[in-house]
Structure 1
Amino acid sequence: MARKKALIIGINYFGTDHELQGCINDSTNVQEFLINDRDFSPSEHDMVIMSDSPENEGTPFYPTGANILAAINWLVTHNEPGDILWLSYSGHGSQVRNADGDRPTGFDDTICPVDFQENGQITSENLHRAIISPMNPACRLTILFDCCHSGSACELPYVYRPDAEGNVNMVDTIKQGIHLIQSAEELLEGGFSMSNLDDAKMLLGGATDFFHGLHHRRNQEVDEDGLVAEDFEEHWETEGKDVWMFSGCADDQTSADTSVAGAATGAMSWALMRTLRENPEQSYINILQSTREELAQNYSQIPQLSCSGRFDLDQVLVL
């Protein structure tokens, strides 16, 4: 019988200038959902909860960078084929300048452990190498990242985003993305054939938004408030892993820390849990559309679904 394992992280950054209100509540809500609705075991052998609650300080459950990476290693290694894995993170996401010069935007997306000011942030590339690369390809991992700049948090190569009408569009951030950028260059130079638009199906919010973003990339200085999606240099698409990640917003957006029924919560965590509880048998594409609909009532952030391969989004969520 397949084993289910979960790592749930919530960081409020108590007593700092960066304090948040709802992240630990998010972790509690996710924990209850997995146990009550998806038959995950609450045993510490199967489920690890990390938070910066005072009682966790000095223990392996306090979400320092080192502890988070150790817990991730526990989650993704020593698993059997068919095991179902869950990873969720609610806290601050940010961006740091890319030291290697191999990101078109010049920045890496990050998450912020509780000790990030002393020991640094964890970059998207390091997250991918820690989470995705060691995985047994016969396991399925579902990730929820409810933080700012989370669209590329694990550098999964295929990114899907719903537009205002709920249509889900794809940005393939590797070979197809490069091809589309080259085609767009030809369009801007006046030599583009409309037949090439067959390759441009499922772009970020449609072709208009894509070319607007391309114009921004070509002609405007990129800064921390206006980043565009990047094309990863690594060939992550060849790894053959089974990973699905729901993220609270695009790389250039913030993820709301809000209140529902008087309790602080992350908007994305609340919307996704509500969506999954109301209809447990939804497909991945339906979940993304429903979560977008929930968020659009009050928030501008646009949720994303990122995948490690070209998967069928019409299949029902496996969790």
Structure 2
Amino acid sequence: MARKKALLIGINYFGTDHELNGCINDSENLRNFLIEERGFSPSPHDMVMMSDIPENEGTPFFPTGDNILAAINWLVTRNQPGDILWLSYSGHGGQVRNDDGDRPSGFDDTICPVDFSENGQITSEILHRVIVSPMNPECCLTIMFDCCHSGSACELPYVFRPDEDGNVNLVDTIKKGVDLVRAAGELLEGGFSMSRIDDAKMLLGGATDFFNGLHHRGDEDVDEDGLAPETFEEHWETEGKDVWMFSGCADNQTSADTSIAGAPTGAMSWAFVRALRENPEQSYINVLQNTREELAQKYSQIPQLSCGGRYDLDQVLVL
């Protein structure tokens, strides 16, 4: 019988300048959803909760960078074919400069452990290497990231985003490169200054690297629709891992907080759970569309769905 394992991380950054209100609530709400609606066991052998409540300080459940990476290793390794895995993170998301030249924005997405000010953020490349690469390809992992700049937080190669009418499309990476050139031109229209020139150089440099990457890709990387997967230095699209990630917003957006029944919570986590509680047997594309519809009533952020391969979005979500 397939085992279900879950790792839920919520960080409020208590007592710091970066304090948040609803992230631990997000983890609690998702925990209740997984147990009540999806048959996950609350046993500590099957479900790990990490948060920065004072009681956790000094234990493996305090979400420092090292502890998070160790918990992820527990989640994705030593699993059997057919195991169903869940990973969620609610906290600060950020971006750091990318030195590989493989990201059109010039930045990698990050998550921020509770000790990020002292020990740094965890980049999207590291997240992919510790979450996706070690996975048994016959397991299924669902990821929920409710944080800012989370669109490519695990560098999954195929990214889908709904438009304002609910139509879901593979993100057109060529358009991204064109937008970078346009943004650089618009930046200089208002006059020249050293800061403006430096910013424009960064945008144009990112665009140049981006288009060079496209130039060197073979025809085999372009699918029947004429679209290609997200471009990363590593060829993640060849891994073939059964990973699905719902993220609260695109790389250049922030995730909103909301309040449900007087308790603070992340808008994405709330919308995702609400959509699945209303209809548990939905396809991946339906979940994305319905989460988008819930969010669109109050928020500008656009949720995304990323996956490890060019999979059928009409299949029912495995969770």
- Asked if TM exceeds 0.5, the reply is yes
CA distance in 2, matches of 1:164, 1:99: 34
- Determine if the alignment matches structure 1 residue 123 to structure 2 residue 119: no
The residue type equivalent to 1:249 in the other structure is C
SS state of the match for residue 300, structure 1?
Answer: coil
CA distance in 1, matches of 2:177, 2:102: 22
CA distance in 2, matches of 1:166, 1:9: 29
Partner in structure 2 of residue 216 of structure 1:
182
Alignment of 1:85-234 (within 5 A): 85-171=85-171, 177=173, 181=174, 213-216=179-182, 219=185, 221=199, 231-234=231-234
CA distance in 1, matches of 2:259, 2:232: 35
Partner in structure 1 of residue 266 of structure 2:
266
State the Cα deviation string for residues 123-165 of structure 1 (Å, max 9, x = none). 0000000000000000000000000000000000000000000
Kept after mapping to 2: 8 A contact 1:20/1:257? no
State the Cα deviation string for residues 171-223 of structure 1 (Å, max 9, x = none). 26xxxx4xxx3xx7xxxxxxxxxxxxxxxxxxxxxxxxx68735436645467
Deviation at 1:262, TM superposition (A): 0.8
Partner in structure 2 of residue 297 of structure 1:
297
CA distance in 1, matches of 2:182, 2:54: 44
The residue type equivalent to 1:91 in the other structure is G
Partner in structure 2 of residue 81 of structure 1:
81
Moved over 6 A (4+): 227-230
The residue type equivalent to 1:305 in the other structure is L
TM-score by length of 2: 0.85
- Determine if the alignment matches structure 1 residue 32 to structure 2 residue 32: yes
CA distance in 1, matches of 2:272, 2:148: 16
| Structure 1 residues not aligned, in runs of 5+ | 185-209
SS state of the match for residue 75, structure 1?
Answer: helix
Deviation at 1:240, TM superposition (A): 1.2
Deviation at 1:260, TM superposition (A): 1.7
CA distance in 2, matches of 1:152, 1:277: 26
Deviation at 1:106, TM superposition (A): 1.7
Taking only aligned residues, the RMSD between alpha carbons, in angstroms, comes to: 2.0
Q: Residue 211 and residue 153 in structure 1: after superposition, are their counterparts in 2 closer, same or farther (change >3 A)?
A: closer
Partner in structure 2 of residue 188 of structure 1:
none
TM-score by length of 1: 0.85
CA distance in 1, matches of 2:99, 2:121: 13
Give the number of aligned pairs.
Answer: 283
CA distance in 2, matches of 1:47, 1:290: 27
Identity rate of aligned residues, in percent? Answer: 78
CA distance in 2, matches of 1:111, 1:62: 15
| Structure 2 residues not aligned, in runs of 5+ | 188-198, 211-229
The residue type equivalent to 1:289 in the other structure is Q
State the Cα deviation string for residues 62-105 of structure 1 (Å, max 9, x = none). 00000000000000000000000000000000001123444332
- Determine if the alignment matches structure 1 residue 253 to structure 2 residue 253: yes
The residue type equivalent to 1:29 in the other structure is N
SS state of the match for residue 127, structure 2?
Answer: helix
CA distance in 2, matches of 1:213, 1:304: 19
CA distance in 2, matches of 1:216, 1:162: 23
SS state of the match for residue 9, structure 2?
Answer: strand
State the Cα deviation string for residues 1-55 of structure 1 (Å, max 9, x = none). 0000000000000001110000000000000000000000000100000000110
State the Cα deviation string for residues 229-281 of structure 1 (Å, max 9, x = none). 97312100000100000000000000012212211000000000101111000
Q: Residue 73 and residue 211 in structure 1: after superposition, are their counterparts in 2 closer, same or farther (change >3 A)?
A: closer
Partner in structure 2 of residue 191 of structure 1:
none
